[in-house]
Amino acid sequence: MPLSKIEGKSNAIFFMRWGLDMKRKAINGLQDFSFVLPALLIFVFVIIAPFISGIHIAFTDWNGINSTYHYVGLKNLISMFSDSEILNPFCNTIFFTVVTVIFINILGLLLAVALNTEFKGSNIIKTCIFMSMVVSLVLTSYMWVYVLNDFISPFFKIASPLSSPDTVMIGLCIMSIWKETGLAMVLYYAGLKTVPKDLLEAAEIDGANGIQKFFKITIPFLAPVITYCVILWLGLGLKQFDYSFVATNGGPGTSSMSMAMYIYKYEFPYYKAGYGQMVALVYLIFVLLITFLTTKALRKKEIEL
């Protein structure tokens, strides 16, 4: 058989196999996509579509009830930046976020490290710590209001932190830290199981102490978990609403009002949906920017570690 025919036949077989392989990959891709399609459709129709359709409301004077409204251009945006009252909920939200992100991650990591060694009753302790996660945010708020006001305050003869504008945000932080630390512990505990034991043993043979092994070996392997946990509670902190609304209703005064509660009050009780929508839109951009920059910085740190 001539060489040209052999080469032509080989090329035909190659392209046929390549086509079958691409077809197989496409079918597998469609199968994989079908699993996420229901969740994607719900997300699009429940979150994305209402959000996009409501953007224009930010440029109107709609009160949230009437079917008619007027476009006011950038008036709502100008009002937002000229409203000095927005600084208080913004600072409260930032304070709450920073405190909870730091303490939830530190306490969760310490508990995970402490319980990483199996001993009698360790599973019971893990379960008890994690049990707070099954309690709803509303019930957590009611529980801690009772504990702080009706138990700790009279028993220790001290004022409840929720009763003072200077300490109310600390009280809300305590609620969140108590509830969320159990989940952080579970995530870090799972991350600790990925740390190669042979590396820890080799470091110990080389004379490394516990602290050196923790920071030089354990932390680098936990970097992806740290990134996930920080971003998770960063997002939860920046959209905090339940604790402020249920536990204190933004009080005393407005000393515990969060940005989410500030937006809610303008959307509904104050009947200024246009202004509330503008604040929500700007705040969403701020949250996306903060989470993007934080994620980028932590990912870069992962590579360095």
Burial (0-12, 13-18, 19+ Cβ within 10 Å), 23: exposed
Q: How far is CA 113 from the centre of its chain?
A: 23
HSE, side-chain direction, 13 A CA sphere, residue 95: 19
* Residue-wise burial string across 215-242, b where 16 or more C-beta atoms lie within 10 A, e elsewhere: eebbeeebbebbbebbbbbbbbbbbbbb
With a cut of 50, list the residues of the chain below it in pLDDT.
1, 3-7
Tokens of 86: 């927005």
Q: What are phi and psi of 117, to 5 degrees?
A: -90, 125
Is 233:145 a contact under the CB 8 Å cutoff?
A: no
Predicted confidence at residue 54, as pLDDT, reads 81
Predicted confidence at residue 3, as pLDDT, reads 42
Residue type, 240: Q
- State the DSSP string of 194-244: TS-HHHHHHHHHTT--HHHHIIIIIHHHHHHHHHHHHHHHHHHHHT--HII
Predicted confidence at residue 1, as pLDDT, reads 47
- Mapped onto helix, strand or coil, the DSSP state of residue 71 is strand
Predicted confidence at residue 14, as pLDDT, reads 56
Helix pair angle (168-192, 87-114), 10° resolution? 40
CB neighbours (10 Å) of residue 290? 16
* Residue-wise burial string across 139-157, b where 16 or more C-beta atoms lie within 10 A, e elsewhere: ebbebbbeebbeebbeeee
Tokens of 92: 């409260």
Which residue, chain included where needed, has tokens 């496409």?
26
HSE, side-chain direction, 13 A CA sphere, residue 201: 3
Of 236, 239, 237, 192, residue with least CA distance to 217: 192
Predicted confidence at residue 7, as pLDDT, reads 47
Tokens of 226: 């740290």
Predicted confidence at residue 305, as pLDDT, reads 60
Predicted confidence at residue 109, as pLDDT, reads 94
Per DSSP, 272 falls in state: -
Q: How far apart are CA 7 and CA 171, in angstroms?
A: 78
In this prediction the pTM is 0.86
